[in-house]
Structure 1
């Protein structure tokens, strides 16, 4: 197992990898004690059937630059293959504002090839590569050096088996004509906005039972301060204060350090110093926010007049169509999506892109009364109705 520890070694590997159609990529990182992921290891493999074209890259060794890897990411002649790429891509985008082009995510590809929703790498290794993974090093501190042989073997397997999985899925997509489906699904992963959390939008991640604009104004300011503080100091947002403490603060509206001292849920460290000052300023800003600037909860679906019979028919249609296509029903539409569709809503994901081909077009025909459903044995078929 070869470990690259210098920029020159990485550059030599990437130059060789650029001669191939694809390269498989994975990372190991830590995030328990930081806001941003700490990159600890990168695994890379060129096409092949053994470990000779696979390497480990140690970004913690000396002053290694990852620019040769980023040049490979920018090389549009080489497909960069990941599994469940989101967290990996976030690391690279935050570090260098670079995303691999073109990208292939085997989790997304497996989804549209009939392996179910969010299928794990271990499952694909077992079903496609017909191998098993040694999971003994799954939960380990990847920042500690030296790495053990067991750690290295575990890490390398994340890219060596990935080659066979990629080749199988790519062929399957070509055979079924679903490559475009994968491309559509990767749009979000290839947008830099996916990996940047704007403090002013952080409140949308906080679950609350109260949805009044005045209350949400306080949640917004408290969440924005927490996000900025966590980003600036590179600490997890929950180390500043947790969501339940944030909601408590929004409810109690503390105006002094004495008020903060009465909190049940606030961490002791947050009752003094910079965090305490930030909380009090956020509460003050939330209380003084003008009504037109206050967050407004999305109530667009609360007043929908759902046709329950049509909603039930749409559920039957969804089950039939997804079973036929070999994709998970939840990937196409949620229960609330179906209710919205039955209430006349048309701005839903199930009516767009590849989902429309699988389900949306027939769903609209059903809603418009142009088709009916009929049971035949264990299957459901669509029956066109005369105009």
Structure 2
């Protein structure tokens, strides 16, 4: 650190949390960060919550707080902007801890990309770039569930909250001056919406890599395995890949072992999974084999073929052109999922339509142009 920071205030009583949340509700924004543990558990375990108000840092001890309703009110207040950085995991922490995600949300990593900086700038690099402060990462992997916290942990956590507020004080006005605030808040709201979705076990198989290679009869087995894995991981609070590695799921559905010895020979199958859940896995495979053909899942879409690359490249140029014009990171302008969804609406011969995935400001800004390129009405150099 380049200069001494004010001592943070530790909040470890319900009454103190209620008092400070009432104070923060009067502010235009608060900077929010979390420290958590998530090595082998399904859900993140909150170890600390940091709040910055622009002048001071406050450290909330989740191991000592029992009434989270004041924080819920703050997180949901429409008049207080919540400032976070690269916040997908932080959102999971809040969903688990108190059932809500912070909104409205301003993500400083996203804001940096909106202003033409790198697409996925880490927090330390952004602090160095904008504040010229070198942050130590020594406490990043420390135990945030230990009590008492070390002095180094407290200093590290407080610095995060203080500097996050300083980043917003710089980035917020720049985003506003560029006329990009509404777009940024729209994208941030999408992050919050995604955090609030719970994976349905019955559709978990759709997210398994390489599942598109399987025949419908094999998908029937994969569907049961993936559904069981999702339910058990949540119930046991155990990481999915600790329970059963994803890389084993498609081979299990294809090779369909019928005994523990054959199960243990599946590539990437952990001996622990065989020992603890081998019989359950074999029963799931047998149940999948018994699924009537009429109930087999439909075959999944294959990846787009190589001959789609020319169109994808032309569509990507539309986004690149707008990114240059607006001074934004090009990865932010058009996402891969947007482009592929558009191509799938008409490949190989068209006509193409705008997919539901392309929505909001991107659809309004580029929709007509993308359709013109896709349907051959406009050519890009």
TM-score normalised by the shorter chain: which range applies? Answer: 0.7 to 0.9
Q: Note the 1:97-246 alignment, pairs <5 A.
A: 97-191=99-193, 194-208=196-210, 210-246=213-249
Evaluate the alpha carbon distance shift between residue 292 and residue 109 of structure 1 in structure 2; reply closer, same or farther with a 3 A threshold: farther
User: Which residue number corresponds to residue 324 of structure 1?
Assistant: 325
CA distance in 2, matches of 1:316, 1:71: 44
Does 1:75 find its partner at 2:77? Answer: yes
> How far did residue 30 of structure 1 move?
0.6
Evaluate the alpha carbon distance shift between residue 269 and residue 114 of structure 1 in structure 2; reply closer, same or farther with a 3 A threshold: same
> How far did residue 267 of structure 1 move?
2.6
> How far did residue 130 of structure 1 move?
2.6
CA distance in 2, matches of 1:307, 1:156: 47
Please say which of residues 139-148 and 337-346 is displaced more in the overlay.
337-346
Tell me the secondary structure at the aligned position of residue 44 of structure 1: strand
Evaluate the alpha carbon distance shift between residue 232 and residue 177 of structure 1 in structure 2; reply closer, same or farther with a 3 A threshold: same
> How far did residue 21 of structure 1 move?
0.9
> How far did residue 228 of structure 1 move?
1.4
Q: Is the 8 A contact 1:90 1:195 kept in 2?
A: no
* 1:71-120 per-position Cα deviation (integer Å, ceiling 9, x unaligned): 21122221111112221111222333222232222222222222232222
Evaluate the alpha carbon distance shift between residue 303 and residue 45 of structure 1 in structure 2; reply closer, same or farther with a 3 A threshold: closer
* 1:259-286 per-position Cα deviation (integer Å, ceiling 9, x unaligned): 435545433333345x223212321222
CA distance in 1, matches of 2:9, 2:76: 24
CA distance in 1, matches of 2:126, 2:309: 40
Evaluate the alpha carbon distance shift between residue 113 and residue 3 of structure 1 in structure 2; reply closer, same or farther with a 3 A threshold: same
User: Which residue number corresponds to residue 383 of structure 1?
Assistant: none
Q: Tell me, which stretches of 5 or more residues in structure 2 are unaligned?
A: 1-7
> How far did residue 27 of structure 1 move?
0.4
> How far did residue 329 of structure 1 move?
2.7
* 1:42-62 per-position Cα deviation (integer Å, ceiling 9, x unaligned): 1011133xxxx211111123x
> How far did residue 32 of structure 1 move?
0.4
Q: Note the 1:46-61 alignment, pairs <5 A.
A: 46-48=53-55, 53-61=56-64
Of the three residues 270, 286, 289, the one matched with 1:287 is: 289
Tell me the secondary structure at the aligned position of residue 225 of structure 2: helix
CA distance in 2, matches of 1:367, 1:241: 42
Find runs of 4+ consecutive structure 1 residues off by over 6 angstroms. Answer: none
> How far did residue 137 of structure 1 move?
1.3
Give the TM-score, by structure 2 length: 0.85
Tell me how large the CA RMSD over aligned residues is. 2.9
> How far did residue 349 of structure 1 move?
6.9
CA distance in 1, matches of 2:259, 2:303: 39
Of the three residues 268, 272, 280, the one matched with 1:269 is: 272
CA distance in 2, matches of 1:54, 1:294: 55
Q: Is the 8 A contact 1:27 1:88 kept in 2?
A: yes
User: Which residue number corresponds to residue 247 of structure 1?
Assistant: 250
CA distance in 1, matches of 2:278, 2:303: 38
CA distance in 2, matches of 1:372, 1:226: 48
CA distance in 1, matches of 2:308, 2:40: 46
CA distance in 2, matches of 1:189, 1:352: 14
* 1:268-306 per-position Cα deviation (integer Å, ceiling 9, x unaligned): 333345x22321232122212233433334437758975
Count of paired positions: 367
> How far did residue 314 of structure 1 move?
3.9
Tell me the secondary structure at the aligned position of residue 189 of structure 2: coil
Q: Is the 8 A contact 1:188 1:194 kept in 2?
A: no
Tell me the secondary structure at the aligned position of residue 206 of structure 2: helix
Q: Tell me, which stretches of 5 or more residues in structure 1 are unaligned?
A: 375-387
User: Which residue number corresponds to residue 98 of structure 2?
Assistant: 96
> How far did residue 142 of structure 1 move?
1.1
Evaluate the alpha carbon distance shift between residue 109 and residue 348 of structure 1 in structure 2; reply closer, same or farther with a 3 A threshold: farther
